Structures are given as structure tokens and as C-alpha cells.
A and B are shown apart, each in its own frame.
Chain A
Amino acid sequence: MSRRRASIKEVRGEVALFRRRAMAGFALILLGLAAVCARYVYLQVLHHDEFVARSDQNRVKPRAIPPARGLIYDRNGVLLADNVPAFRLEVIPEQVSDMDDMLGKLGTVVPLSDEDIATFKKQVKQGRRFEGIPLKLKLTEDEIGRFAVNRWRFPGVDVVPYLTRRYPMGPLLAHVIGYVSRIDVDDLDRMDDDEEASYKGTTHIGRIGIERYYEKLLHGAPGYELVEVNADGRTQAVLDTTPPTPGKNIYLSIDVRLQKAAEEAMDGRSGAAIAIDPRNGQVLAFASVPSFDPNLFVNGISSADYKALTTAPDKPLYNRALRGVYPPGSTVKPFLALGGLTMGIRRPSDTVLSTGEFCIPGQSRCYRDDKRGGDGTVNMIQAIELSTNTYFYRLALDMGIDRLSDWMGKLGFGKKTGIDLVGEVEGVLPSREWKAARSKAGWFPGETIISGIGQGYWAVTPLQLAHATATFAGRGIPYTPHFLLDTQDGVDSPRVPQSFPPSGPSVIRKAADWDAVNDGMKAVINSGRGTGKRLPFGFPYIIAGKSGTAERFSRKTDAYDTNKNTAYLASRHRALFIAYTPADDPKIAVAVVLEAGAWGAQDSGPIARKILDQWVVDEGGQRPENLPPGPIVTADAIPEPAPGEASSVQDAQPAGAASTDLPPQDDGEDQ
């Protein structure tokens, strides 16, 4: 640093220099101020008359016209969300002299709830100035009439027409479409200036679901009208209008008929059912049961309704399909088999001897098959068909946890699928890294073994399961699941298809690998083993599938569970089922998860079948003969006939890792 010493400086000259500069600067400033004043002289003296005239005529001001929100349809044009005219009571706080007094008197004309008033007062504090603030939404005709008569008593209060959102299907698609609700201060804070300007006059914004995800498409751009106002600021006449640009209409890939079939098949039992077209990733049905009525939220939900929804034990606000996580159980077996083939660890013909128990050499702890005594010698196709645990214990061990989680990750487990909804969760794909982040204990071989049958740390969302099934059914080509099909500028415009290309190349190495696993899954449904009713009964195409039954609690003792009571089992098990059809050219893939089902195939299989039945009808086929009521039988989950000969699903935990350490289920409302 070359700082010269101050004493060397010539101080006297500097003072004189500064003095000259300050004088010059001040002279320039006076000149500048004089120039500004000259402009005021120009406006206020020379052109005074002209501006006085304009000021007197100034009765016109612009007012924002909010755009109509885009409509939402299903793939066949069934209306899922529309706008209906309604009236609301608005107050301009600056024009009210005594707010509490006014609210008291107004309450005798139009009934106001405490909540209306509380919300309103909050908004007054936060509101944009000189703008009407909604006091009561959705006035009845009676209320409008009574207010009209008394309007003169309430300056600053007015009835304003607006469009409110309506969901004609009610709860049917609440977990997909979501809902709009009132814009609040936090919403505005998140926006930049231009965005905030585009919400001038708009009262509602997409809160969750499609309404939130495609807010930008649905919202549109506001227009303006020039209105003539009187001295009170009340509108006298509209002079000129620049119309708003309405939001785009959206067509979803959802098929309402299929959605209804799924909802009805679930019959109120908590869980989720999802159908995806494996050829393009379009979601055809997306049911999360139970559901709720989204119309309640649009104009502000009452606290009684909200409390009922949040305290209900089966949590209707919880989007199970998107955010629920469950151990996948045996449904992962076909995927694991495919991994074995792709990595070259297994050929389809390689066999394994299942004796009923699989032990790691040198460890006392053993892992069980479903059936006491085992399935004998099985190859890959038989192992899938019979859901032979031993086969997959060994395969998982040979593969090792790193390759296993790598492979399953390719099928979309352990990460968000990227579906066009907000709030998706990742679930858990067991891996060394995942465990290391949560526990100091290293990875145990036993944990690899149980990962091979979808137990242990595993946690998948129904959406991930459906996505993986669809990816497999589509011959390994992954598509990001999505709801958006087409957009449309207005009801008379053509539908503009939105493109969703595959998210990557096929994960399958050669066609023979796919065929082997497909054969296994076909055999599950069609081999004819076991006694009882069968899933393909009366169905025109070949179905391929796999069931899974996962235990909700880890077992306390080593003893076989001998209680065969279905209700008892249902309290302990989660029933899963995946399927696709036609087996050799899959066009629809389905995943069903029941939170309480005794056995995967028995309880969730018929639900999948009912969805597929409806799909056949939608495709123009004859409705297949109804499956007779009651449980059905598949090769992979044959209930043992003799009591005491009980099959346990699988053993819970190896000795080394006693706690499952599953992430706590997020059971909050999904927003």
C-alpha cells in the first residue's frame, strides 16, 4: 500500500480548491433546481388551464378485470373443474369511518360469522390500500336482496360479482385436481412485481394438486376496463374494455370412468389404486381413499368442517397415492429377477432349492419361505410364480446391496417420479448410503437378504410402484408419469397435445430377459396352482401380475403365526397388487395398495381386476363377466388349507438389525 503521508500534502491549496469546487457545485445545483422549477412553471402556469380542464373531466380510471380460470377436463372431455358466477360482499376500508360499528349494523342485514369477520380483519391489516376486501363470499340471493335495499346505509360496502371454482366430481378427483383457495399475503410475497400485477383483481390461486402445479397455465392474464366513477368512487359507467386473456383449459389423461371404477372397487377401504398407460406414462386413474370434497376449500372452509377433516382417523386429506409409503413386499420380486438377468447373475433356467429356510453360512439366524417345507427346486419363472423367498434371498445376496439399490433406482424407487403434482415423497430404497446417514452400525448381509423380498428398510409410494410396473410393462422404457394431456386456448380452439418423451433409454438389455419375467408374472395369475376362484375369470386378455403382502409390525417371537382369522390378518398386513394387460403387448398397468388387507392377491387383486374390466369397456370391448364376490386365488399366495400348517409371509428382521427404522409416516395434510 503506497499511502502517502498527509503532511506531505499541500493542505492550504487543497482547502482553496475545495472551496472553489463547493461553490461551483452549489451553482450547478441551483441551476438544476431552477430547471426543475422551470418545468413546474411550464405545467402550473403556462398549461394550467389545460390541466384544470383535464382534472375536472378526470372521472375515468382503469380497473383490472380478472381472467377466467382455465377449465379442467378428463381425457374424454368430461368437465372436472369449472367456474360459476357468484356474488361477494366487498369493503373498501378507507371509505368506512367506524369499522366495528359498520360490521355490527351490517351483521343484522347479512348474517356474518365470526370467522368471516376474523378473516376480513386480518386482510384489512395486510391488504393493498384502496382495494376492496372480500367480507363474505358466495352470497345467497336472499342476502343480495336484503343488502341492496340497505345499501345506502353502508358507504364503502358493495356487492361484487365474481367467478367461483366448482368441482362437479366432488371427492372423486380431489387428490388429483386439488383445489383453489383465497390468495393470501404469503402468496403475494412470493411473487415479483410483474407477477403480482397479473393477480390484480384475482381472488383465488391454485393451492394443491393440478390447480397448483399448472397455476401458470390456468391463471391467464388480467384485462382492464375504463370506468367512470362519481365522487364516492362508485362506478357510474364502463367506457372502454380491454378483455382479459383467460387461462388455458387443461385436459388430463385421467379417464373418469376408470377413476370411478377404481374408487368403487376400493369400497371405502384406505389405500390407493393407480393405473398408468405403459406406452406413454399417462396416468389413467389415481385414487387415494378416503377422499374429501374440494368444494369446501374454495371459499374458505369453516373451522368445523376443517376440524372434522383433520381429526378423522382415516385422514381423508392425506394423499396416500402420492405421499403414503409402504413396504413393497413381494411386488419387488419380478423387478429383482429382471435385475439378475440384466446383470448376468442369473439365467432363467438357473434353479435354487427351496427347503423352507435359508441360512447364511456361519450364522444361526435363518430366513423363511412362505410355505413350510419350501417350494422345492425352482427356476426363475417358478420362483416368481410361487413367490419363493429363498430364490430371492440368494439372488439379493449374490447381487449385493449396492447393485440392488442401483438397479431398483433405475426403476424409479427411492426418488420422486416427477409426476405433475406437488408434494411427492421419495420413500426409501435400502442402500448403504441411506443407512449410513441414519445409523452408525454398518450394513449387515441380513439386511441385503430381506431387501430381496421387499422388506426391511424398503418404503415405496403407490405411485412409485405403479411407475415401476408401467416401466416394466412398457418393455423397460421409462416415462415420467403425468396427468397433463392437452391444453386449449378456449372452448372452440383445438386441443394442443403436450409432449412427454421417455425420460431415458430402456433399462432392459435384451428382449429375452423381459420375456422370462413376463412369463413368471403371467404364471402368477394364470398357472392354475392353488384352489379357488381365479383372477382371469372371464377376462378377454391375459393378465400378468404379482401380489405382495407386507407386515405392518415386526414379529415379536420366532413362532409361526397360526391365527388364520382374516380380520386379524387384515389388521396386521398391507395388501399390494401390481398387474398389467394384455400380457404380451401391455396397454395398462395397475398398482393397488390396501392399508389393511389380509393377503395381497385376495384383497387387492379384485380391485385391480375391476379397474381392468372398466378399461376393457372403455377400449370398446364387452364388459367381462363379473368376478364373483369374495377372495380369489393366485399362485403366489395360496392360503394353506390345513390349520397349523400356517404360512407366514416372511420373517421380519435379522438379528443384527432389530429396528426397521422406517421413516415416520407423514400423515399430515398434503400441502
Chain B
Amino acid sequence: MFQTLTTRMKRFGLRLLTRPRLDLPLLLALFVLGCAGLATLYSAGNGNFSLVTGQAARFVLGAVLLLVISRIPPPVLRSWTPWLYLGSTALLVVVAVLGEGRGAYRWLDLGVMRFQPSELLKLTMPMMVAWYLHPRQLPPSWKDIIVVGLLIAVPAGLIAEQPDLGTALLVAGAGAFALFLSGMAWWRIGLLVGGVGAVIPVAWQFLHEYQRNRVRTLLDPESDPLGNGWHIIQSKIAVGSGGMFGKGWQQGTQSRLEFLPEHTTDFIFAVFSEEFGLVGVIAIMLLYAFIIGRCLWIAMNARDTYSRLLAGAIGMSFFVYVAVNGGMVAGILPVVGVPMPLVSYGGTSAVSLLTGFGVLMSIHANRKLHD
């Protein structure tokens, strides 16, 4: 029994190398990124090891989910898609009802752990759009675009209402990218973007006061140096003082002396920039670009429309994380709760991100074999 186990493991390892179900370059890139994240976290947390172990535990959980999901073939995922989408949207409604009359309410208390249903939508949203578009003639017609628009708007609206603008943005972005990849005509994209631009002044009225303040503060951080502006000013000082080569690992004064708020979560990239400088920033940006590019490569080689759209959308939505968080830390985008993927501490985002990469691995494993 024991012997058969070892031989089976040996066989499994051999097959992993000769005919990998997992895309090794992507896996390697994720691993390097995770390590960089843990190293930054160790420094940002002032050498607090429990933060690092906590984050590593999330990575392990995410990796297990990645492995499990990668064994589910895309057609199976496709057949589950509508139910997953409906289920996760229903959970959002539950949160909205439970949260009635309270402040920011995003969590569902399961007793053993708290869980944020909006996190599920980051994956089920592009799945649903891909599912809807895959049997249809592409590029999509106006009718299909409108249906997809509704599929995106309902959950994104519910999340924005919680209020969690950052996650709403990520969810809507993932859906929109699937639509973009389906070949929606450029002039239609132009028309829609123009329309959204025209709607912005109206949407401003619907934002929460604190969200408006964040935008106002962004335009002039020095006007509110104690409140919202504090984040932006301190973050810019951290980034700027890092210079070309940075102050060195564990040498960043901004987070050491606790000038930088949230320096282990949303603003961890400021710590990274301070300690590793522009060289570090460009290196990590290249790493992110490689990951996104690799996802798109996997998408191009996918076997069917559903897999193509899904893999492409997941890869591209990774960009939203990086751009929004990087822009926020550098003071060009408002402060919204979007983490730096696989670097920021906490939340369920590390787990949900790795789960998404599990889907990519599954698509990769079932790629076209010719061509």
C-alpha cells in the first residue's frame, strides 16, 4: 500500500514534468510575485512574523484551490456557470438585506469565518459573460451588448451600494474585458465610453459623501492634511523618497515610523517603492505584465470560445488591480479599496486571485493540441 503510494506519487511527478497540466512559466511568475509580496510584508509589518505566516497560509489555501480547480475541465465549469453566477448574486442580495440600516456592510458571517460574497463575483462575472457570448455570433450585436451590460450592472451596482467601489470596479472590469475580447466593434466601444463619460456628472450625485471627499482630496491633498489627504501625502513621500534604487529592505522610514497608514494592506506598494526604488517598481511591473501576457497567450490557444473569453478576461482584469492600486499609491487615482495583487496583506483577495489562476490552468491543460 505504502509502496503503491510512492510509485503513484513518482508517476504523478514525472507526468507533471513531461506533460504538465499546469503552465510552469505562469506558476513560476506567481511564485516569484508571492515571495516578493511576503518579503515586503515582513518589512511593512515591522518584522512581525505572524503577519507573514498568516499571509503564507492564505497562499497555501489559494494554491490548493488552484490545483483543485485546474483539474476541472472547462466544459464542466461552463455548465456550472449560470448557477454559480446566480448563486453569488443571490448572496449579494442577502448581504444587502442583512446590511439594511448599517454602515459599510460586506460580510456574511458563516460562524467559522466571515466571507465576502463580492469576492466570488470577480470570477463568476467573467464566467457568466463568456457563457452568454459563447454560442452567439461574434462580434456581438447591440442586443447582446445590452444583455451583457445588464449582467454586469446588477451585481456591480449591488457591490457599489455596500459601498465597496473598488470591488465593484474590479467586477465590472472583468465583465467588460470579456465583452471587449469578444470583438465588440471599436465604434461601439467608442460610443459606450463616450456615453459613460457623459453619465459621470450624474453618477457623482449618487456617490457617498466619503467617496466624493476622496476624489476631492485627490485633486488637492494638501487641503485636508489630517483626514483623507494624509494617506495621499504620506504615500507620495514614501514613493518619492525611495528614488532610483530605494532605501533598502527594512530601511523605509515612512512605514517604520508609522507615518504611512494601512502600510500592510492597501498601501503596501508604497513601502515596496520606498525600499526598492524605481528599479524595484519597474521590475515588479514587468512581472505583472508577463503574467497578463501569459494569460492572454493561454487564452489564444484555448480550445473554445468560452475558454478564450474567460481566460482573456481574467488576465486583463489583473491589470485593473495593478493600475488602480499603483495609481492610488502614486497619488493619481482616488483612494479605493483595491489591493496590490498577491502583495497586499489580508482579505480573501489572494485566495480568489489564485482560484482564478486555477481556471486558467484548467484552460491551459485543455488547450488546442494542433496549430
- Chain B residues with Cβ below 8 Å from A4 are 135-137
Nearest CB to that of B230 among chain A residues? A62
Partner pick for A40 among B46, B183, B312, B330, CB 8 A cutoff: B330
Nearest CB to that of A130 among chain B residues? B258
Of A11-19, A506-514, A633-641, the one contacting chain B is: A11-19
A193 at the interface (CB under 8 A from B): yes
Q: Tell me the complex Cα distance, A14–B136, Å.
A: 11
B352 at the interface (CB under 8 A from A): no
* Contact (Cβ within 8 A) B103 A33: no
Nearest CB to that of B262 among chain A residues? A129
- Chain B residues with Cβ below 8 Å from A33 are 285, 288-289, 319, 322-323
A359 at the interface (CB under 8 A from B): no
Q: CB-defined interface of A173-216 with B at 8 Å, one 1/0 digit per residue?
A: 00000000000000000011111000000000000000000000
* Contact (Cβ within 8 A) A58 B259: yes
Of A24-32, A558-566, A592-600, the one contacting chain B is: A24-32
Of B22-30, B54-62, B236-244, the one contacting chain A is: B236-244
Q: Tell me the complex Cα distance, A41–B278, Å.
A: 7
* Contact (Cβ within 8 A) A36 B259: no
* Contact (Cβ within 8 A) A44 B278: yes
Chain A interface secondary structure, helix, strand, loop or mixed? Answer: helix
Q: How far is the CB of A91 from chain B (nearest CB, A)?
A: 16
B177 at the interface (CB under 8 A from A): yes
* Contact (Cβ within 8 A) A61 B135: no
B116 at the interface (CB under 8 A from A): no
* Contact (Cβ within 8 A) A48 B244: yes
* Contact (Cβ within 8 A) B254 A18: no
Q: Tell me the complex Cα distance, A489–B348, Å.
A: 45
Partner pick for A25 among B46, B134, B139, B177, CB 8 A cutoff: B177
Q: Tell me the complex Cα distance, A320–B282, Å.
A: 70
Q: How far is the CB of B306 from chain A (nearest CB, A)?
A: 10
- Chain A residues with Cβ below 8 Å from B154 are none
Nearest CB to that of A18 among chain B residues? B308
* Contact (Cβ within 8 A) B322 A39: no
B326 at the interface (CB under 8 A from A): yes
Interface residues of B in 121-149 (CB under 8 A from A): 134-139
Interface residues of B in 274-313 (CB under 8 A from A): 277-278, 281-282, 285, 288-289, 292-293, 296, 299-300, 305, 308-309, 312
- Chain B residues with Cβ below 8 Å from A493 are none
A312 at the interface (CB under 8 A from B): no
Q: Tell me the complex Cα distance, A242–B226, Å.
A: 10
Q: Given A192-B104, A224-B226, do A17 and B237 touch, yes or no (CB 8 Å)?
A: no
Partner pick for B237 among A11, A55, A193, A224, CB 8 A cutoff: A55
* Contact (Cβ within 8 A) A55 B253: yes
Number of A-B contacts (CB under 8 A): 156
- Chain A residues with Cβ below 8 Å from B323 are 32-33, 36
Q: Tell me the complex Cα distance, A194–B211, Å.
A: 12
Q: Tell me the complex Cα distance, A224–B136, Å.
A: 59
In which size bucket is the chain A interface?
Answer: 35 or more
* Contact (Cβ within 8 A) B180 A21: yes
- Chain B residues with Cβ below 8 Å from A43 are 236, 239-240, 330-331
Q: Given A37-B281, A45-B243, A51-B236, do A29 and B292 touch, yes or no (CB 8 Å)?
A: yes
B257 at the interface (CB under 8 A from A): yes
A642 at the interface (CB under 8 A from B): no
Q: Given A54-B241, A224-B226, do A233 and B257 touch, yes or no (CB 8 Å)?
A: yes
Q: Tell me the complex Cα distance, A25–B319, Å.
A: 11
- Chain B residues with Cβ below 8 Å from A11 are 305
Q: Tell me the complex Cα distance, A587–B236, Å.
A: 68
B2 at the interface (CB under 8 A from A): no
Q: How far is the CB of A464 from chain B (nearest CB, A)?
A: 29
Nearest CB to that of B235 among chain A residues? A43
- Chain A residues with Cβ below 8 Å from B210 are 193-194
* Contact (Cβ within 8 A) A26 B244: no
B223 at the interface (CB under 8 A from A): no
Q: How far is the CB of A198 from chain B (nearest CB, A)?
A: 12
Interface residues of B in 181-223 (CB under 8 A from A): 181-183, 210
Interface residues of A in 45-82 (CB under 8 A from B): 45, 47-48, 50-52, 54-55, 58, 61-62
* Contact (Cβ within 8 A) A18 B183: yes
* Contact (Cβ within 8 A) A18 B299: yes
Partner pick for B254 among A15, A21, A55, CB 8 A cutoff: A55
Partner pick for B253 among A44, A58, A194, CB 8 A cutoff: A58
* Contact (Cβ within 8 A) B239 A51: yes
Partner pick for B103 among A61, A191, A226, CB 8 A cutoff: A191
Most buried by B among A41, A43, A50, A231: A43
Q: How far is the CB of B334 from chain A (nearest CB, A)?
A: 14
A122 at the interface (CB under 8 A from B): no
Q: Tell me the complex Cα distance, A18–B309, Å.
A: 8
* Contact (Cβ within 8 A) A44 B180: no
- Chain B residues with Cβ below 8 Å from A61 are 258-259
Q: CB-defined interface of B324-368 with A at 8 Å, one 1/0 digit per residue?
A: 001100111000000000000000000000000000000000000
- Chain B residues with Cβ below 8 Å from A8 are 137
Q: Tell me the complex Cα distance, A37–B288, Å.
A: 12
- Chain A residues with Cβ below 8 Å from B19 are none
Q: Tell me the complex Cα distance, A639–B254, Å.
A: 84
Q: Given A22-B312, A52-B241, do A58 and B236 touch, yes or no (CB 8 Å)?
A: no
Interface residues of A in 204-244 (CB under 8 A from B): 224, 226, 229, 231, 233, 242
Q: CB-defined interface of B61-75 with A at 8 Å, one 1/0 digit per residue?
A: 000000000000000
Nearest CB to that of B184 among chain A residues? A21
Q: How far is the CB of B214 from chain A (nearest CB, A)?
A: 12
B102 at the interface (CB under 8 A from A): yes
Q: How far is the CB of B264 from chain A (nearest CB, A)?
A: 8
29 cross-chain CB contacts under 8 A: A3-B136, A4-B137, A6-B305, A14-B138, A17-B183, A22-B300, A26-B296, A29-B319, A33-B289, A39-B330, A40-B326, A43-B236, A43-B240, A44-B243, A44-B278, A45-B278, A48-B243, A51-B241, A52-B243, A54-B240, A55-B240, A55-B254, A58-B253, A62-B226, A62-B230, A192-B103, A193-B104, A231-B257, A242-B226
Residue numbers of B with Cβ under 8 A of A are 46, 48, 102-104, 134-139, 177, 180-183, 210, 226, 230, 234, 236-244, 253-254, 257-259, 273, 277-278, 281-282, 285, 288-289, 292-293, 296, 299-300, 305, 308-309, 312, 316, 319, 322-323, 326-327, 330-332
Q: With contacts A55-B241, A55-B254 known, what are 18 further pairs, Cβ within 8 A?
A: A18-B182, A18-B183, A19-B300, A21-B312, A26-B292, A29-B289, A33-B288, A36-B285, A37-B281, A40-B326, A43-B330, A44-B277, A44-B278, A44-B281, A48-B241, A58-B253, A58-B257, A226-B226
Among all A-B residue pairs, the 3 with the closest Cβ atoms: A192-B103, A51-B240, A55-B241
